[in-house]
Each structure stands twice: as structure tokens, then as C-alpha cells.
């Protein structure tokens, strides 16, 4: 349980806040690549760690992310004209390039050099893995690019989507790294006990710190197999989880995959959840799998309304009580992470942690909170928080049944360094 002061540190990510300063030391997902499809396309609004920003792609294909407000009279640059390598404010014509330089000030006399004295806040961007990332921290602290393994495979081997969640980023993160809830929240057929999460509901959570965050295992004894069903995950600071999505153990015949989430703060009351998966097999994702992890997801998400799901708190997430009585615990569709959002948003925009009662299965949550608070102190003292170096490159998550005498840590190490016979195409 966090005390009030600790809770305040974690939930607030705006400019100048302790956790806001931590967030600004990492590359942050700002939007999906396809949102800026071509040069001189329509500008896009971006809300990120409490800042209102505008993204645009200039004539040469360079990506800009600048303050929403023109420094002249504070008009919104969302209405700006994207033209000839710059975004022009339509109020008085001031024009800015992707680096925030004022490159044209037509309302001033020709002999004036005022435009050379005016800049707009801008942040560097890179396009990688179907996501446009930005760095919002001190230039001399900029980390190496976020080369997760999923960002390095071809588009045919990867799916990336996003959806808005109406609640603080930290409770969304904590819901994601909680591996126990799958037994109930994501049990979409209570009449079928084939999946190991349903056959073995008691789990032991083991957490091992790393220099990028930690790795953790959910170990479920399966007596009839004389072994343990293990799911091994990674938490990469500050908001990324890698989870197994391998579909190899009681889950059908799909190829081994790794999936994950990034719970990126928009402001203190909302976050954008980026969901991704990629295959470890040399073959591309099948059309069926791509439909689950690609554009088909957007039939459930209102892209024009800030990526809000069509099922939300206003319509009780489409809950079907008959389905809840006969088939699932929730009665809520599993599409687009809807079950997670429904429960996490039901806790309140910023839930009161002083009333919670954490159990042994909450070790991953407790560890993440401790690591975030430590990172805030490290940054305040001028240091670099965990996870800014590239030591997370290539890490993977696994699930499998292991003999009782085999450690999941060893199996995870084998999967990382021997590749389990699979080699992602690069």
C-alpha cells in the first residue's frame, strides 16, 4: 500500500513533477506511424505527459512534434497549414519547421530579424516499429533508440494498435503486470478447463530485478503433469510489459509469439495503451492473427474520437449478463483489451490505494511501485533511471510447462540466447 505522498509522486506526470521528469528521460510513443501517412498531411493533436502538442510530417518527410500553441498569440497550430517544410499558423502566418525554428514571419517588415529570435517548443522524433517516438527530456540525456525486438521485424511479422484508457496510467500499468487476473477476467469459456490458467488457479509470483526493470514469473503447479505451468514476463521501465503470447501450451496451434503493452500517460486522468505482438517464426503473421492485432481492431475503436473504444463507461462496456451467467466471468467482450479497461476504469480515474489490501500475488505491482519511486529520487539527484540504456534489446517472454526441478529463469535465458529454434526475420 502506498502512502498519500508516494501515491502523488507516481500518478502525476506533468511538466516539473517528479514522475514527469522520469518519463521525460525515455523515448515515449507519441502516435502510430500511419497517423502521419505522407508529407504535408493533416496535423495531428497529441496529448503526452500533460503537454498539448501537434505532430506533422513536412514536405521532405521529416517529423515534427511541437507545442500546440503558437508563441505569437497562442492560437492552436492544429489549424495550421502544413506547407513547404513548415507548419504555418493561420492567424498571422508565422511558420515553424520541425525543429521549432520560425522560418517565416510575413507580418513583419523585411528588414526585421524578429523571426530569428522566436522558437516554439519542439521535440525530436523517430519512426520505428510502426510507432512515432519522441524524446522530451534534456538533450544531453537522450537515450539510445527504443529497439525492442518487435520494432525490428518487418511489418508482416508485427501488429501494433492503440486505444485510449480513461484512468491514470499507473493503475493501467499495474493491471497489466498483474498476471493472476487472467484466470478470471480473461476466462472467456468457463465450461472449458483446457487452458492451464483455469486448471491451476493458485500461482506463485517471483520477481528478479534487472538493469532495465525486472523479469517476473508466474508459476502454477499442474499436479497431473508433474510440473509447473510457467509464464515469464518482463517489465521495462517506465511503462512497458512483455508477455508471452505463444499459443503453444493448451492454446491451439498458432506459432510462438511475444506480445506486450505500453501504458503511456496522456495526462493525470488518461493514458494511451499501445498493444503490440510479433511472431518469432520465420513466416509472417497469418491473416487471422493480423486481424486480431492490426487494423481490424479499429472496428471497435473510434479513431476520430481520440481512439476511444465504442464500448466504454457510458454504455457499461457492452456487458451481457446472460453471457456472464453462462459463459464468462465478465460478460464483456475480449476485443481490444476491453475487459482490462472496464475493470481498471471501474476503480476510478485515480483510485485510492490507501484502501487496498495487497497479497503475495501482487509482488510485481509492489516491485514496480518501488522502482518508480526510486527512479524519481535518482532523477532528482541528477542520475539516470533504469531502462534508458539498450539492455532490453532482444528480450523475450515465454510460457511452457516445466518439470518441477527446472527454474523458469533458466528456460527464459535459453529462449533469449538460443532462440528456441525460431529466428524473427529482420
**What digits encode the pLDDT tens for the residues 128-182?**
999 999 999 999 999 999 999 999 999 999 999 999 999 999 999 999 999 888 8
What domains sit in the chain, N to C, each tagged with a CATH number?
Answer: 27-141 (2.102.10.10), 149-421 (3.90.380.10)
**pLDDT for 196:** 61
What residues contact residue 11 under an 8 Å CB cut-off, 6+ apart? Answer: 19, 168, 169, 170, 268, 350
pTM of the model: 0.93
> Has residue 63 got a pLDDT over 90?
yes
> Has residue 417 got a pLDDT over 80?
no
Q: How far apart are CA 374 and CA 372, in angstroms?
A: 5
Mean pLDDT score, 80-109 = 97
**pLDDT for 422:** 40
Mean pLDDT score, 14-34 = 98
**pLDDT for 283:** 86
Grade residue 195 by pLDDT with cuts at 50, 70 and 90.
low
**pLDDT for 373:** 98
Tell me the HSE value of 379 on the side-chain side, using a 13 A CA sphere.
Answer: 26
> Has residue 52 got a pLDDT over 80?
yes
Mean pLDDT of the chain: 90
Q: How far apart are CA 348 and CA 355, in angstroms?
A: 13
Mean pLDDT score, 4-11 = 95
Q: How far apart are CA 401 and CA 251, in angstroms?
A: 12
> Has residue 289 got a pLDDT over 80?
no
DSSP 376-406: HHHHHTT---TT-SGGGTT---EEEEEETTS
Q: How far apart are CA 48 and CA 26, in angstroms?
A: 13
Mean pLDDT score, 240-268 = 78
Q: How far apart are CA 46 and CA 40, in angstroms?
A: 17
**pLDDT for 423:** 42
Grade residue 295 by pLDDT with cuts at 50, 70 and 90.
confident
**pLDDT for 175:** 95
Instruction: Please check whether residue 335 is in contact with residue 297, taking contact to mean a CB–CB distance below 8 angstroms.
Output: yes
CA–CA distances in Å: residue 268 to residues 10, 11, 20, 384, 392: 10, 6, 10, 23, 27
Angle at 282 between CA 278 and CA 284, to 5 degrees: 55
Query: What confidence tens digit (pLDDT) does each residue in 355-404 have?
Result: 899 999 999 999 999 999 999 999 999 999 999 999 999 898 988 888 88
Q: Which region among 30-39, 133-142, 264-273, 291-300 has the lowest average model confidence (pLDDT)? A: 291-300
List alpha helices for 200-293, DSSP H.
287-292
Closest CA to 143 of 379, 412, 348: 379
Q: Print burial letters for 101-136: b (CB count within 10 Å at least 16), e (below 16).
A: ebbbbeeeeeeeeebeeeebebbbbeebbbbbbbbb
Amino acid at each position: 500500500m502506498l502512502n498519500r505522498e508516494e501515491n502523488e509522486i507516481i500518478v502525476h506526470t506533468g511538466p516539473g513533477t517528479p514522475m514527469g521528469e522520469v518519463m521525460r528521460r525515455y523515448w515515449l510513443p507519441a502516435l502510430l506511424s500511419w497517423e502521419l501517412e505522407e508529407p504535408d498531411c493533416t496535423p495531428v493533436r497529441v496529448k503526452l505527459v500533460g503537454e498539448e502538442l501537434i505532430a506533422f510530417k513536412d514536405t521532405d518527410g521529416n517529423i515534427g512534434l511541437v507545442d500546440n500553441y503558437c508563441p505569437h498569440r497562442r492560437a492552436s497550430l492544429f489549424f495550421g497549414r502544413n506547407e513547404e517544410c513548415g507548419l504555418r499558423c493561420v492567424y498571422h502566418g508565422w511558420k515553424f519547421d520541425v525543429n521549432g525554428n520560425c522560418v517565416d514571419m510575413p507580418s513583419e517588415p523585411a528588414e526585421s530579424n524578429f523571426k530569428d529570435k522566436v522558437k516554439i517548443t519542439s521535440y525530436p522524433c523517430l519512426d520505428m516499429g510502426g510507432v512515432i517516438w519522441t524524446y522530451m527530456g534534456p538533450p544531453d540525456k537522450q537515450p539510445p533508440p527504443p529497439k525492442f525486438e518487435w520494432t525490428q521485424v518487418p511489418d508482416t511479422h508485427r501488429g501494433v494498435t492503440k486505444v485510449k484508457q480513461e484512468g491514470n496510467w499507473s493503475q493501467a500499468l499495474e493491471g497489466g503486470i498483474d498476471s493472476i487476473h487472467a484466470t478470471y477476467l480473461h476466462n472467456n469459456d468457463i465450461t472449458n478447463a483446457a487452458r492451464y490458467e483455469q486448471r491451476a488457479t493458485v500461482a506463485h509470483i517471483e520477481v528478479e530485478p534487472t538493469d532495465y526493470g525486472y523479469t517476473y514469473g508466474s508459476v502454477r503447479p499442474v499436479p497431473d503433469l508433474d510440473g509447473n505451468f510457467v509464464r515469464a514476463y518482463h517489465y521495462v521501465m517506465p511503462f512497458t510489459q512483455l508477455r508471452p503470447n505463444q499459443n503453444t501450451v493448451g492454446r491451439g496451434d498458432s506459432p510462438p509469439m511475444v506480445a506486450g503493452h505500453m501504458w503511456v500517460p496522456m495526462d493525470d486522468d488518461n493514458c494511451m495503451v499501445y498493444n503490440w505482438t510479433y511472431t518469432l517464426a520465420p513466416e509472417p503473421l497469418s491473416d487471422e492473427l493480423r486481424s486480431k492485432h492490426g487494423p481490424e481492431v479499429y472496428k471497435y475503436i473510434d479513431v476520430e474520437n481520440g481512439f476511444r473504444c465504442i464500448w466504454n463507461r457510458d454504455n457499461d462496456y457492452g456487458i451481457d449478463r446472460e453471457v456472464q451467467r453462462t459463459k464468462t466471468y465478465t460478460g464483456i467482450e475480449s476485443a481490444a483489451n476491453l475487459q482490462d479497461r472496464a475493470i481498471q476504469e471501474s476503480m476510478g480515474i485515480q483510485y485510492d490505494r490507501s484502501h487496498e489490501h495487497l497479497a503475495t500475488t501482487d509482488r510485481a505491482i509492489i516491485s514496480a511501485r518501488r522502482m518508480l519511486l526510486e527512479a524519481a529520487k535518482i532523477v532528482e539527484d541528477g542520475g539516470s533511471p533504469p531502462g534508458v540504456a539498450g539492455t532490453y534489446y532482444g528480450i523475450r517472454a515465454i510460457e511452457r510447462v516445466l518439470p518441477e526441478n527446472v527454474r523458469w529463469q533458466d528456460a527464459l535465458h535459453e529462449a533469449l540466447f538460443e532462440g528456441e529454434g525460431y529466428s524473427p526475420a529482420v
